[in-house]
Chain A
Amino acid sequence: MINSKVRGVSSKARLNMTALISSLVSGLIAASIIFMFWLSGNSQWLATSLENKPTQIIVIIGIFLTSLIMLATYLAQLARLNSQNYRAYAVRLEDVLEHLPGAAFRGGPEDPWPIDYISEGCLALFGYHRKEFESHKIKMKDLIYPEDVKVGEPILKESIANNTAFVWDCRVTCKDGSEKWILINSKYIEEGIDGKPYVQGFYADIAQRKRAELELVGQKKYTDAIKDVALEAILTGTPDGIIETSNQSACNMFGYTADEFTGMKVGQLFSPKHTAEHERDLENYRRTGQYHKTDKELEVEFIRRDGSLFPAMMNHSAIEYKSATKIVMDIRDISVQRAAEKDAFVAREHLAHTDRLSTVGEMATSLAHEINQPLAAISLFSQAGKRFLTTGDHDKLPDIFDKLSLHSQRAGDIISRVQSMASQSHGQRDFVDCNQLMRDVKNLAQAEATFHDVDICLLLEDQHPKVRVDTVQIQQVTLNLIRNGIQAMNQIDFVNGREILVKVCSLETGNVAITVTDSGTGISFDRAADVFIPFSSTKKTGMGVGLWISQNIIKSHAGKLSFENNPGSGASFTFELPIAKERAEHEQ
């Protein structure tokens, strides 16, 4: 259509040109006739016809004619210049259209969308020549993917109805069979130059944009997919605590839908015990504009939609996005881990308890012996007292009652030690002095030691190193080592002596080492590897789990248990525990 306009312009110029030339020629002829008349003045034929006329008339006629000729010449000149302008314009337009990244078009709005005019760009765009389009050999609709046509048709209809621009991305099949994304940006013109309705606009190659777009969409899908398969709940939001996005894990973890999350206050997710702290952080942000964040993971308790609580590790960081601060929260549910840890803890406690019970059982003879001592003394004192009463000798009675009380206390102490050994520990850690701990263990082991006539020698540390431990369990470990030592010495009839040395020693590493040294059999080379393996005992009594449990207990206290043979005889077992610096607030 534009082409026809361009043609119109050029044919008009040609018409002007013709008019110019003819008027110029007629002007020249007229001027030369007038000039000849004016020069000669006496041609026979002219002289005869203009015999009676004055020369002035001839001059006026001449001027008139010349003016006429001048006007004609001017018009002709004007027309020539116009035509030249038009041509240059047309060339430039042609040039623009030719180099357009895409193609301008004009065509009918009716069904297979015939093209009346298309710029040269169509060759580069579709691989078809403009002639192929303009001859209606190729119709636009045939090139567009049918599924895209389905999308496009209603848009076209709508834009025609509303008289709005019709902008539409679609895929086309090029001449070489390749697929190409194009943008159609066009407008429906109800009444064109020739009175018919048409559509005009341009096709642009948007393959690159589309690729980038698709890539972007793909990437978003990809990151969304990653976000969704992530086991961690990922929530993003504003620094003032409003959630914006969530992932699938977050939905699963908390029981809210993604829609419910959006706009929710993040504070709603924290268990009540964190509320105050969270409010403080928010308040702090409102006041300072600084978002409080920590680099390390925090253990936080969250609350699900159903009101149940669960422990989780949380990481929150602030990111700058579109010149706004966004908060990204990364939440890892550790309830399973916690449950497993608890199970393992309970199992370990149970095993340790069983071992203590078995130890108490094994020590029954020596304990009975030890308890019998104060009981026998009590019995003697009471009988003696009774006799003094009957003989009327009352002077000694107060002393006897004191002794009775003293020995009852002594019996009670032994029983409570046994009871503490037999009791189920509740996993509480106490802040205790190692020296005191070892003194208590000595008391506990005393029955066994006395029974075998063994001396337990304590070598304590002047610095009184403190540890935070489950007292019963550490006593159990030490008692176990002492009893093993006694047994190892008993096996060789105490030929190397009857002493067990328990040494407490602070180390530079920040640990305290407790070493139990005996002069027994020592650990033979082939047994060394099995020492900590359960049920590998060479002893006749016991389950053979003592050292294994001891090692477990020490490990659970972040310590280590090791052994070595002494240069002379016997073995030394050492366990290290971290020295606790301060008493915690709740400890007395």
Chain B
Amino acid sequence: MSSKQMVYIVDDDAGIREGLGLLMESIAQPYTVFSTAKEFLDTYNSERHGCIVLDIRMPQMTGLELQKRLGDMGSTLPIIFITGHGDIPMAVDAMRLGALDFIRKPFSEQDLIDRIYQALEINKNDQAARQDDKDIMKKLSLLSDRELEIFEAVSLGKMNKIIAFELGISERTVEVHRSNLMAKLNVNSIAQVVRIKIASEMLTAL
């Protein structure tokens, strides 16, 4: 998965762009450069993975503005800000808005590389988590309405007897549905059912 991760470099200064690019090349890290925030936004899609190395101070649209826009668009790409002398107030704003970190120019490349790796790791985990979520939702979508009712009831810890009584069906029927849904969800224990329930509740709450 890491091979698909991209470092998006957004900086108005050609020298820094090129330098960062070469540094990425030297660690064999795929990267793309953008000279303005707008250029990045114009080509943005939610399939982008990796992290953004973003100059906080740029003409027309600043790094901070881009961060806000990306947030609005639901992007979870980790952002490492490049700041200069005297940009601390802006950096603080950036951190408050959820930036991963900021690094001051002129910086130690090892620091930067470490941050980038960290960001990529976070992004990878994030992506993995997202994949799990997707799997859960997919599994849940396979359940029939009756199975879904019984899934809800089981996850609440109700006995088969009670479920049968509440739904007005036989205890035996409940047992059949129960084994079917556990097979569909690919779980072996009630505890696993409960975990899926919690995860699904969190996802629907989002």
Contacts and interface: CB of A to CB of B under 8 A. Distances in A.
Contacts of B57: 369, 451
Contact of B23 (A365, A375, A380, A410): A380
Most buried by B among A380, A387, A406: A380
30 contacts: A369-B57, A369-B84, A372-B84, A373-B15, A373-B105, A375-B105, A376-B82, A376-B107, A377-B15, A378-B106, A379-B19, A379-B107, A380-B16, A380-B23, A380-B109, A381-B22, A383-B109, A383-B110, A384-B19, A384-B22, A384-B109, A388-B22, A393-B26, A396-B25, A400-B22, A403-B18, A403-B19, A407-B15, A451-B57, A453-B62
Contacts of B15: 373-374, 376-377, 403, 406-407, 410
B36 to A, nearest CB: 12
B160 to A, nearest CB: 63
A368 B22 CA distance: 24
A474 B110 CA distance: 45
Most buried by B among A381, A388, A451: A381
Interface in B1-49: 13, 15-16, 18-20, 22-23, 25-27
A450 interface: yes
Contacts of B204: none
A378 B84 CA distance: 15
Q: Interface residue tally of chain A, by bracket? A: 20 to 34
B86 A365 contact: yes
Interface in B136-154: none
Nearest to B87: A369
A538 interface: no
Given A365-B86, A375-B105, A383 B18 contact: no
B96 interface: no
A380 to B, nearest CB: 3
A380 B105 CA distance: 10
Contacts of A393: 26
Interface of A: 365, 368-369, 372-381, 383-385, 387-388, 391, 393, 396, 400, 403, 406-407, 410, 450-451, 453, 455
A377 B16 contact: yes
Most buried by A among B19, B25, B86: B19
Contact of A388 (B26, B107, B110): B26
Most buried by A among B16, B27, B57: B16
B60 interface: yes
A212 to B, nearest CB: 91
B168 interface: no
Contact of A450 (B25, B59, B110): B59
A187 B22 CA distance: 127
Contact of A387 (B26, B60, B84, B105): B26
B106 A391 contact: no
Interface in B52-87: 57, 59-60, 62, 82, 84-86
Nearest to B14: A377
Contact of B19 (A376, A396, A410, A450): A376
A301 B168 CA distance: 126
A318 to B, nearest CB: 72
A470 B84 CA distance: 34
Nearest to B26: A387
B108 to A, nearest CB: 8
Nearest to B15: A377
A566 B86 CA distance: 34
Contacts of A406: 15
Given A365-B86, A380-B23, 11 more contacts: A368-B84, A373-B13, A376-B16, A376-B106, A376-B107, A383-B109, A388-B25, A400-B22, A403-B18, A410-B15, A451-B57
